Amino acid sequence: MKCDVLTLFPDILTAYLNESILKRACEKDLLEVTLYNIRDFASGPHRTVDDYPYGGGAGMVFKPEPIFGALDFLKGDGEPRKVVLLSPQGKPFSQAIAEAYSREEKRFVFICGRYEGLDERIKVLVDEEVSIGDYVITGGELAALVIIDAVARLLPGALGDEKSIEDESFSWGLLDYPHYTRPREFRGMQVPDVLVSGNHKEIGLWRRRESLRKTLKVRPDLIEKVELTEQDKKILSELKEE
């Protein structure tokens, strides 16, 4: 997967990309991220990228020229790309979108917005406008990192242990079950006996039950969307009785 990121603050992304799984994915050539400073595509002595909004009002607006210039430059090689604009007005990002991106898309351009917004005409360049949640952050950089991270870790080989993806919370559509490591007793708190029983069927059942318990408590909306087995339904009715 190749990602071109258009940003005014490339350094924000560098540190995160140079650690842990994303770093390894880059080293294994599963991921390639190229950062472009939008200011490099701006003209004039001050390389201005923003301007006052027509119609008045607070804040500044991203000018169209530098973004169009950057996209013209990137598209020069003729390779198809999905152009994603990060903004709170976008469609909500989810594990399902991460899975679709990791399956279907090879090349991305992420446009990181700043200021009050972008000149609306930039939208003709954009295939998808995506939000990472119903809140406003200062710019699209963190959102681009969230998306690159969520998609890259799904690429075959990125985690090193394929099973960990299958086991992950949202692959089930439920929240994750509790995890424990040594010591078996810590400050009076015990690891549940079943986890040290060696009985993998019982451990699997316990984990499913705890996933359902957590989801029912914190995100009951997810229960509506997930495919439940007969056993899940039985566990859920027991949990509701508790």
The secondary structure element, H or E, covering residue 39 is none
- One residue of 137, 196, 218, 226 binding ligand ADE per CB under 6 A: 137
Tell me if the bond preceding 10 is cis, omega within 30° of 0.
Answer: no
C-alpha–C-alpha distance, residues 66 and 72, integer Å: 10
C-alpha–C-alpha distance, residues 141 and 7, integer Å: 7
> Tokens 């991220």 sit at which residue?
33
Q: Which one of 24-32, 71-79, 127-135, 165-173 is the stretch in contact with ligand ADE (CB under 6 A)?
A: 127-135
- One residue of 59, 133, 157, 192 binding ligand ADE per CB under 6 A: 133
Neighbours of 91 (CB within 10 A): 10
Site for ligand ADE in 168-207 (CB under 6 A): none
Q: Which one of 33-41, 48-56, 82-90, 156-164 is the stretch in contact with ligand ADE (CB under 6 A)?
A: 82-90
Q: Is 33 in the site for ligand ADE (CB under 6 A)?
A: no
Neighbours of 165 (CB within 10 A): 16
Q: Is 54 in the site for ligand ADE (CB under 6 A)?
A: no
Closest CA to 169 of 119, 109, 219: 219
- Cβ proximity to ligand ADE: between 25 and 86 the closer is 86
- Cβ proximity to ligand ADE: between 37 and 87 the closer is 87
Residue 78 makes CB contacts below 8 A (sequence gap 6+) with none
Q: Which one of 6-14, 80-88, 170-178, 212-220 is the stretch in contact with ligand ADE (CB under 6 A)?
A: 80-88
Q: Is 86 in the site for ligand ADE (CB under 6 A)?
A: yes
- Cβ proximity to ligand ADE: between 25 and 84 the closer is 84
**Which residue intervals of 79-182 are DSSP H helices?**
95-104, 141-152, 162-167, 169-172
> Tokens 């603050």 sit at which residue?
9
Closest CA to 113 of 82, 88, 93: 88
- One residue of 6, 66, 140, 152 binding ligand ADE per CB under 6 A: 140
Q: How far is the CB of 230 from ligand ADE (least distance, A)?
A: 39
**Number of helical H runs and strand E runs in the chain:** 10, 10
Q: Is 150 in the site for ligand ADE (CB under 6 A)?
A: no
Q: Is 131 in the site for ligand ADE (CB under 6 A)?
A: yes
Total of residues contacting ligand ADE (CB under 6 A): 12
Q: Is residue 26 helix, strand or coil? A: helix
Site for ligand ADE in 87-116 (CB under 6 A): 87-88, 113
- Which residues of this chain interact with ligand ADE, rule CB under 6 A? 86-88, 113, 131-133, 135-137, 140, 143
